[in-house]
Amino acid sequence: MSQSNAERIHTEVASNIWRAVCGREDLVDNSGVVVWLEGVQVALFYLPEAAEGSTLYAIDNHDPLSGANVIGRGLVGNLKGDMVIASPIYKQHFRLKDGSCLEFPEQRLRVWPVRLNGQHVEVGGFSAAPQG
């Protein structure tokens, strides 16, 4: 992975603070893992050979339809040019880049900026001080 790709950012950064959440070795190629970040469950998808080059996405792990925290265990796909994740329970699809749902416009998942910094995976948009 080249350095420029490593710093790819998918969403406007709401805050300049990047939080290290896990190591690069924790990621699974072409699939998802979940991190715990200040009470929020964030699913990370690592696609080393996506159409637009090596890519990392951070998206909400909570599936609004089933109410279970399972998005990180869904199947990655590409539908009509968009990278999507299919919920493992009812199989609806969410666009990884903005969290929008293909089937139900009212369901939208949160997404966060995410990058690889050396061997660390960093998520942006969270405040600096951990709460609680």
Partner 1 sequence: MNSNVVTLNKVQTLIVVGNGMVGHHCVEQLIERGALDHYRVHVFSEEPMRAYDRVHLSEYFSGRDAESLALSDMALYQRPGITLHLGVPILEIDRQRQEVITAEGCVAYDKLVLATGSYPFVPPIEGAEGDSRLVYRTLDDLDTIRNAAINARRGVVVGGGLLGLEAANALKTLGLEAHVVEFAPRLMPVQLDDQGGLALKARIESLGVGVHLSRATQSISAGEQYRYRMNFVDGEFLETDLIVFSAGIRPQDALARQCALELGPRGGVMIDQHCVTSDANIYAIGECAAWNGSIFGLVAPGYQMARSVAAQLCGETAEPFMGADMSTKLKLLGVDVGSIGDAQGATPGSRSYRLIDEASASYRRLVVDATGKYVLGAVLVGDNSYYDTLLQYMQNGIALPQEPASLILPSSEGAPTLGPAALPQAATICSCHNVTKGAICSAIDTGCTDLGLLKSQTKAATGCGGCAGLLKQVFEHELSARGVAVDKSLCEHFAYTRQELYALVRVEGVTTFEEMLAKHGRGHTGCDVCKPAVGSILASCWNQPIMDASLVPLQDTNDTFMANMQKNGTYSVVPRIPGGEITADKLIAIGVVAKKYDLYTKITGGQRIDLFGAQLHELPDIWAELIEAGFETGHAYGKSTRTVKSCVGSTWCRYGVQDSVQMALTIEDRYKGLRSPHKLKFAVSGCTRECAEAQSKDVGVIATENGWNLYICGNGGMRPRHAELFATDLDDDTLIRYIDRFLMFYIRTADKLQRTSVWRETLEGGLDYLKDVIINDSLGLGAELEGQMQLVVDRYECEWANALKDPEKLKRFRTFVNDKRPDPDIHFVQERGQRRPIMAAELNLIPVTEEVV
Residue 40 makes contact with partner 1 by CB under 8 A:
no
Which positions from 6 through 35 interact with partner 1, judged by CB under 8 A?
21-22, 26, 28-31, 33-35
Instruction: Name the amino acid, one letter, at 19.
Output: R
Which of 3, 16, 106, 129 is in the footprint of partner 1 by CB under 8 A? Answer: 106
3-class secondary structure, 65 = coil
Residue 43 CB, shortest distance to partner 1, in Å, is 10
Which of 56, 58, 59, 83 is in the footprint of partner 1 by CB under 8 A? Answer: 83
CA nearest to 11, candidates 57, 66, 50: 57
CA nearest to 55, candidates 119, 125, 109, 115: 115
Residue 41 makes contact with partner 1 by CB under 8 A:
yes
Burial state string for 29-45 with b = 16 or more CB within 10 A and e = fewer than 16: eeebbbbebeeeebbbb
Instruction: Name the amino acid, one letter, at 45.
Output: F
Residues interacting with partner 1, by CB under 8 A? Answer: 21-22, 26, 28-31, 33-37, 39, 41, 47, 50-51, 62, 66-70, 73-80, 83-84, 86, 88-89, 91, 93, 104, 106, 130, 132
